[in-house]
Amino acid sequence: MALCWCCSPRCLLLFFLLSAVPVAYLISLELAAPTTHVYHYHSAGWFRECAKWDDLNRRFLVSFMDGGIGQIPVPDDHTPGAVLEELPLVKHVDLAKNASLGFVIDRPRNRLLVATADVMGNRYSALAAYDLSTWNRLFLTQLSGPSDPKAFADDVAVDSEGNAYVTDCTGSFIWKVGVDGKFLSTIKSPLFTPKEWYKAIVGLNGIVYHPDGYLIVIHTFSGNLFKIDISNGDEVKQIKVIEGSLKFGDGLELLSPTQIVVAGNPSGRLVESTDGWETASVVGKFSGPKHRLATAATVKDGKVYLNHMVAMGYPKKKHAIVEAVFSA
């Protein structure tokens, strides 16, 4: 009898009504007027993990979850509200089925460094480097493969000498790759592994290089923030967050020697340190589009913008890069 009832028109009607509730909620969120400036752009894909502003070329660069890099040119006479268009720059057959994830613009060497990974199986991780002018690939350094423990290259930072540091969010360690693409070492620490198993599901994630010679990296599920002194034997210290929480933090952006932005959930948090990142506090928060998921932060013309991973709309997929205005 229950099976027959569930196949009845009344059950089907109930199913469609219940399904319509979240759909209607998403539509209402999408149609709501934004509280800050937004760059919308049409794209060929549903998911864009990272976006960074390339000030010299007046464009946003974005990474494709299905592999590749694109650009969103922003003309000087851009009309607020006008939808921009994504143009593909990089799409390599030999990296098919691997996602392009976090990346960093290495301006002194005119190149882009991109973390690449097998999202579904965690059986491949690599670091790719591209010339920012020609988009020729400079090197591709494999970091893990099918015979290695599962790994997931997620984000990358570059130091003053051109060495790259790639986070593994599965095993919670960092690969170091030299300026020429040669794998150099790994940075590991017991501090990277929280005691609770469920806090280790998503580990080390966003990473930035501080001009004073150390790295700052976030552990997503625990919210722990770490300082890695690469000029002192890769010494690892946990930064004591004395006010606020950084749980579910994702991409990082260094605003100044004393401030970073953490993208994630909630959309953005402004974090400040006055003692050389021995301690830190959340001094501001921003709540953007709740249905799109903020994954990376960047700075354009002195303003912070958050990349949101998920597109909305059909058949044209529309992404959003949202200005973050922080409040205490």
pLDDT tens per residue, range 143-182 = 999 999 999 999 999 999 999 999 999 999 999 999 999 9
Read off the pLDDT of each residue in 85-101 and give the average, rounded to a whole number. Answer: 92
Query: CA 38, CA 46: separation in Å to the nearest integer?
Result: 18
Predicted pLDDT of residue 31: 64
Q: Retrieve residue 198's tokens.
A: 């469920």
Predicted pLDDT of residue 30: 62
SS3 274: coil
Predicted pLDDT of residue 233: 95
Q: Retrieve residue 204's tokens.
A: 């080390």
Give strand ranges (E) for 31-119. 38-43, 48-54, 59-64, 69-73, 84-85, 87-90, 99-106, 111-117
Q: Beta-carbon neighbour count of residue 137 at 10 Å?
A: 16
Read off the pLDDT of each residue in 203-227 and give the average, rounded to a whole number. Answer: 98
Predicted pLDDT of residue 17: 42
Question: Any idea what the Cα angle at residue 197 is, between residues 142 and 263, rounded to 5°?
Answer: 65
Read off the pLDDT of each residue in 206-214 and give the average, rounded to a whole number. Answer: 98
Query: CA 231, CA 218: separation in Å to the nearest integer?
Result: 19
pLDDT at 10 over 70: no
Amino acid at 218: I
pTM here is: 0.91
H or E stretch covering 10: helix 9-31
pLDDT digits (tens, 9 = 90+) for 127-144: 999 999 999 999 999 999
The CATH number, out of the four listed (2.80.10.50, 2.60.40.420, 3.40.640.10, 2.120.10.30), of the domain defined by the range 36-323: 2.120.10.30
Instruction: For residue 222, name the pLDDT band (cuts at 50, 70, 90).
Output: very high
Predicted pLDDT of residue 96: 83
Exposed/middle/buried for residue 204 (C-beta within 10 Å: 0-12, 13-18, 19+): buried
Read off the pLDDT of each residue in 47-67 and give the average, rounded to a whole number. Answer: 97
**Most confident range, picked from 31-45, 64-78, 278-292:** 64-78
Domain locations along the chain: 36-323
